[in-house]
Amino acid sequence: MDGTGPVSSLGEAIRRQRELSKVSMRQFASMAGISNPYLSQIERGLREPSERVLDAIARSLETSTDALYEQAGIARELDDDEELGTREAIEADDRLTGRQRRALLEVYDSFLAVNRRSRS
């Protein structure tokens, strides 16, 4: 990888969010359950995180993986408009705490993943 493109943009979005949270790279790596060198490579766009790692990073930032992709300017494929509408509704519901919204999105994503696998 050359440090440009979608992986680099995703790393930059992660780094920006980490810095806005005023958390050191070492502290954040520990929070996300990954090594400091691995986080450094992700933030510099040298490595693309797996979905599991990206999910851990998003949870540590109190956001969703989709929000990180959006901040990085990476278009995610959606199965249909309903998925987008459901996500937007969950993310916009101010009656829920950030933690509750993340939990709902995680459950929603896991159900969709199971359904996608069963259709394959």
* Structural contact between residues 13 and 71, judged by C-beta atoms closer than 8 angstroms: yes
- Whether 13 and 63 map to the same domain: the answer is yes
- Can you tell me the mean pLDDT for 15-34? 94
Only one residue has tokens 């509704």, namely 89
- Whether 10 and 48 map to the same domain: the answer is yes
Identify the CA nearest to 103 among candidates 70, 69, 71, 55: 55
- Whether 46 and 102 map to the same domain: the answer is no
pLDDT digit string, tens, across residues 79-103:
555 566 788 888 888 898 888 988 8
Least confident of 57-61, 71-75, 93-97, 105-109: 71-75
- Whether 55 and 100 map to the same domain: the answer is no
- The total number of structural domains in the chain stands at 2
- Whether 26 and 51 map to the same domain: the answer is yes
- The whole domain housing 11 covers 6-72
